[in-house]
């Protein structure tokens, strides 16, 4: 008999992968945004930064960490040239968790999303 623990996968649909993607507020905002309206533009996620240095750091962080991480798992498709973000081929894997969290946002910590 196959050991169920040994058969766990690390693909885009694994719970650990989805929770890792949702563990960062910037990634949650991106996923919620494309869930609501598709496609989105990168600048939407840095416009609310008041300080120029913080805005630059956030843009770098998005481009070099968060967007590639989400794109690598297929939750988004990201075109760095056009700065366009849209739902990826695996978005439906994480959508139920996003809906659940959004429906219960009043029960979640203050830093949600």
Q: Could you read off the pLDDT of 34-91 as tens digits, one per residue?
A: 999 999 999 888 766 556 677 788 889 999 999 999 999 999 999 999 999 999 999 9
Residue 12 domain flag: no
Cα end-to-end distance, the chain, whole Å: 42
Is 4 a member of any domain? no
pLDDT of 55: 76
For the domain that residue 59 is a member of, what is the CATH number? 1.10.10
pTM for the structure as a whole: 0.81
In a domain, 5, yes or no: no
Residue 112 lies in a domain: no
In a domain, residue 38? The reply is yes
Residue 54 lies in a domain: yes
* Total count of domains within the chain: 1
3-state secondary structure of 106: helix
Range of the domain at 67: 19-101
CA–CA distance, 18 with 93 (Å, rounded to integer): 8
Residue 79 β-bridge partners = 84
> Does 10 map to a domain?
no
Half-sphere exposure of residue 75: CA atoms within 13 angstroms, side-chain side? 31
Q: pLDDT at position 87, please?
A: 97
pLDDT surpasses 90 at 13: no
Average the pLDDT over 80-106 and give the result.
93
pLDDT given at position 86:
97
**What's the pLDDT at 108?**
81
Give the per-residue pLDDT at 74.
95
Full DSSP string of 1-64: ---TTTT---STTSHHHHHHHHTSHHHHHHHHHHHHSSSEEGGGGTTT--SHHHHHHHHHHIII
Tell me, yes or no, whether 40 lies in a domain: yes
């Amino acid at each position: 008999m196959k050991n169920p623990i040994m058969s766990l996968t690390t693909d885009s649909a694994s719970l650990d992968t989805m929770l890792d993607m949702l563990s960062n507020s910037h990634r949650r905002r991106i996923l919620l945004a494309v869930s609501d309206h598709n496609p989105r533009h990168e600048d939407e996620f840095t416009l609310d930064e008041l300080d120029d240095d913080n805005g630059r750091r956030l843009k770098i962080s998005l481009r070099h960490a968060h967007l590639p991480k989400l794109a690598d798992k297929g939750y988004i498709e990201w075109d760095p040239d056009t700065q366009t973000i849209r739902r990826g081929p695996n978005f439906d894997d994480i959508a139920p968790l996003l809906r659940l969290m959004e429906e219960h946002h009043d029960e979640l910590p203050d830093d949600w999303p």
